Amino acid sequence: MQSFTHETHATRVVFGAGSRQFLPRELDQRGIRRALVLTTPEQTELGHEIAGILGERCAGVLGSAVMHVPVEVARSAIDAARRLGADGCVAAGGGSTIGLAKAIALESDLPIVALPTTYAGSEMTPLYGITEDGIKKTGRDWRVLPRNVIYDPELTLALPVTLSMTSGMNAIAHAAEALYAQDGNPVYSLMAEEGIRALAHALPRLRTAPADLDARSDAQYGTWLCGTVLGNVQMGLHHKLCHTLGGSFNLPHAEVHTVILPHALAYNADAAPEALARIARALERPRAVAGLHALGQSLGVPRSLRELGMAADALDRAADLVVQTPYPNPRPLERVAIRALLQRAYEGAGPG
């Protein structure tokens, strides 16, 4: 067996339908007395429900979270947390809301309790991003890792079906790249394979029965595992491509992951045969790339960058940006091959 290091950073995780009712207990566990509740503008109703559960321990509800954490939004949230005397944050939402809580934690060390409502997995990672002058700066800091996470599947019932599918594919992407990460280890590989398996089973059930709480819960179980590996091992070409396309061309996060994943895995297939075999096993399909492509088709998710609003004449610049800085990937970064990958993804062609 290959040598490896395994380090754990504890997050307390609570699962179960209705488990948001345990929020006061989780705050007690962290010694939080006054929590600022964060949501997006679209989810303020949820924020007020959470405020009701917290009662006098709610310092306020701030519904200002938006995608990619603009620095002005982060600064104003940091000010609000100070002004309201908050000693912790409750982030009720997806990656955007949890991202805002992380920006506050980075500045003030306030502990985060997260109630995820998508399958993006940010609640299990020390990764943060803040956008200034159109450039998203990302980093890793264990201070921003949520200390407590409550996976209540009832909070995902309102997530539209299409976003449920693409968000689930976003989670699968974390696990797929963890399986060939150079700093991976056998424990994270187990989690990654099980995470893919759980989501590949849950998503088709959710597509036909979006109110199926068991399927919602299974998807959150997969999300937990996929988010954990995202937070602990280095991602490769797939995440780099998605980060570039989302950050520099303003394409929607989960949808980009969904379109790119089979193409990125096809690029790496010959250089990472063991990882691909594990992905195929988790999908219960003979081959990983074809299996993911077929899963996407069965879920009715977007297939092309064109339908996400990417301009054809931006593909050259995207390829340049992706190869600009070196990062770990099983197959070396070859601009010509990456440009061809982007062309296929743009057109919605099958992965090469």
Give residues in contact with ligand NAD (CB under 6 A).
40, 42-43, 67-68, 93-97, 99, 117-118, 120-122, 125, 127-129, 155-156, 158-159, 163, 167, 230, 253-254
Q: What value does the CA radius of gyration of the chain take, rounded to a whole number of Å? A: 19
Supply φ then ψ for residue 159, to 5 degrees.
Answer: -65, 120
DSSP string across 36-73: EEE--GGGHHHHHHHHHHHGGGEEEEE----TT-BHHH
Which residue from 244, 206, 12, 250 is spatially nearest to 123, judged by alpha carbons? Answer: 12
Nearer to ligand NAD, 38 or 338 (CB): 38
Output the smallest distance, CB 160 to ligand NAD, in A: 7
Nearer to ligand NAD, 95 or 222 (CB): 95
Output the smallest distance, CB 276 to ligand NAD, in A: 23
Output the smallest distance, CB 141 to ligand NAD, in A: 11
Nearer to ligand NAD, 57 or 96 (CB): 96
Output the smallest distance, CB 303 to ligand NAD, in A: 19
Nearer to ligand NAD, 158 or 277 (CB): 158
Output the smallest distance, CB 255 to ligand NAD, in A: 9
Nearer to ligand NAD, 81 or 124 (CB): 124
Which position's Cβ is nearest ligand NAD?
Answer: 95
Task: Collect contacts of 281-289 with beta carbons under 8 A, ≥24 apart.
Answer: 281/193, 282/175, 282/193, 282/194, 282/196, 282/197, 282/200, 283/196, 283/197, 283/200, 284/197, 284/200, 288/176, 289/262, 289/265, 289/351
